[in-house]
Amino acid sequence: MAFHGEVAVVTGSSRGIGRAVAELFAAEGARVVVNYRCDQDGAEQVVRGIVASGGEAIAVRADVAEPEDVERLFKEALAAYGTVDVLVNNAGILEPKPFLELTKQDILTTFETNFVGVALCAQQAARIMLERGRGRIVNIASVSGLDNFGTAGNMPYAASKAAVLNFTGVLAKALAPHVLVNAVAPGFVETGMGHSPEYEAVVTAVPLGRLVQPREVAEACLFLASAKAGATTGETIVMDAGFRLR
């Protein structure tokens, strides 16, 4: 088990990509802090599944956009497990809305979760990691944050993910050489939408003819947080099934 005895904090891990990340790290021996904002049932289900498989996990409610919540999240992680080795910044929101209908609050709400939350969690984790002289941070971004792949309907989301990508590189320099900071930028990820017209439209838009699976994103996170990543820092792994090749 590559992460035996290590502690991983995974934000927004009651479902989707975050859940896949939490479960995979636990399967590799990590003790996992499953973070959620609203979905307590989902988070507790993830914890029960990990424990039933012989792993260790706790669920902690915290809104990553709130400094007090973030501070409590890491305090509870330390109280339970004594340290933090890995942070996967996954929590994020996407609320599509036509550009001309956007309000200031729409934009701020998206940035507060998708970017400010990443920065606040990274700050708390970095304090712990630098004191120990080692650690890994993995930020979940999006292909929407690359170049001009966002759309007018998700402008705040795309802009916030672009900020995460920039932040990843800057933070990697700030925390070197002891803490590695990298990102994963998924494209369209399977979310259980089924074979609806929207699903078919997305599938035909990507060269591989399928969506990215949450487990695949989790495996990229596992690699970036492992010793196999070696000297990799400030980098982004793009997983979009060839979407950018359209």
The model's pLDDT over 55-104, given as tens digits with 9 standing for 90+, comes to 999 999 999 999 999 999 999 999 999 999 999 999 999 999 999 999 99
Q: Which residues of the chain have pLDDT under 70?
A: 192-198
User: What is the helix (H) or strand (E) element at residue 216, kind and residue range?
Assistant: helix 214-224
Instruction: Domain ranges for the chain, please list them.
Output: 7-245
Four-way CATH pick for 7-245: 3.30.70.20, 3.40.50.300, 3.40.50.720, 3.40.640.10:
3.40.50.720
- CA distances 71 to 181, 209, 245, Å, are 20, 42, 41
pTM of the model: 0.95
Burial class (CB in 10 A: 0-12, 13-18, 19+), 8: buried
Predicted pLDDT of residue 229: 95
Residue 153 amino acid letter:
G
Tokens 């838009």 — which residue? 205
Enumerate the active-site residues.
Answer: 157
Closest by Cα among 158, 153, 67, 150 to 111:
158
Predicted pLDDT of residue 193: 47
Question: What is the distance, to the nearest Å, from the Cα of residue 77 to the centroid of all Cα atoms in its chain?
Answer: 17
Predicted pLDDT of residue 207: 93
Question: What is the C-alpha to C-alpha distance for residues 190 and 162, in angstroms, rounded to an integer?
Answer: 22
